[in-house]
Amino acid sequence: MKIGFVGLGNMGGPMAANLAAAGHAVTGYDITAQGPERVVMAATAAAAATGAEVVITMLPNGAILKAVAAEVIPAMGGGAVLLDCSTVDVASARDVAEMATAAGLGALDAPVSGGVGGAAAGTLTFMVGGSDAAFATARPLFEVMGQKAVHCGAAGNGQAAKICNNMILGATMIATCEAFALADKLGLDRQAMYDVVSTSSGQSWSMTSYCPAPGIGPKSPADNGYLPGFAADLMLKDLRLSQDAAGGVDADTPMGQLATALYAQFVEDEDGKGRDFSAMLPRFERRGRTTP
């Protein structure tokens, strides 16, 4: 396929590189990042989109997404698909889908899970909202960039799935870190703690795939000084998106609210900015009990 790719940062760059390596003709644009090997760089986002069958965006937030969509949609030919892989608010995703549909284009919101490592390895999971026809057009690209793509329904449902997933992830990571800190103070060996929990009812992805304790379980950012695989800043962004969405539909999410508040404190008032979201463990290690 002929593909335009706007947003070639830590996630978008490897995704575009994998598409180009698979034989697709990829034209890219980014305001700061250099293009990866085999990606031809354009001078503007509109130029990258011109003549493309699919235009992929990977951008920081909904406002930037809408601005880029307003630029690229007029440059796209009828029947082309605008495939947004950013994580943004549900309302922005649906606004962009409406803009694309009005111009005779297909539109998909397809945020990802898997982080920078998954982007480089081509093992991302895509949560996709949009039409069946647009999903069918993009499916071969999902198969190059990831290991799984789940069609979640209408426009905006990909973003809904992503923020619900990451609300669970934020809360379970906090609980996992709290439990390790408690185990330490109770004199329970961390390896013993892991061996029990990883095969018991407390098991979670945060424990068995991304353990926050250094030297325990599969290698994770905890083994690299908590340099981010998934930054606490980004977890805070996703948790805030979840709570904005919950407010919009009158959903009661007390655990999500508390996780958001804790990550906000960690990132904005403590030392969490620029660290992995699993660095909550050393945070809890340093703290004594507080009164609820």
Task: Give the catalytic positions in this structure.
Answer: 162
**Length of the chain (residues):** 292
3-state secondary structure the chain: CEEEEECCCCCHHHHHHHHHHCCCEEEEECCCCCCCCCCEECCCHHHHHCCCCEEEECCCCHHHHHHHHHHHHHHCCCCCEEEECCCCCHHHHHHHHHHHHHCCCEEEECCEECHHHHHHHCCEEEEEEECHHHHHHHHHHHHHHEEEEEEEECCCHHHHHHHHHHHHHHHHHHHHHHHHHHHHHCCCCHHHHHHHHCCCCCCCHHHHCCCCCCCCCCCCHHHHCCCCCCEHHHHHHHHHHHHHHHHHHCCCCHHHHHHHHHHHHHHHCCCCCCCEHHHHHHHHHHCCCCCC
Q: Give the integer Cα–Cα distance in Å for 135 and 151.
A: 7
Q: Name the 3-class secondary structure at 109.
A: strand
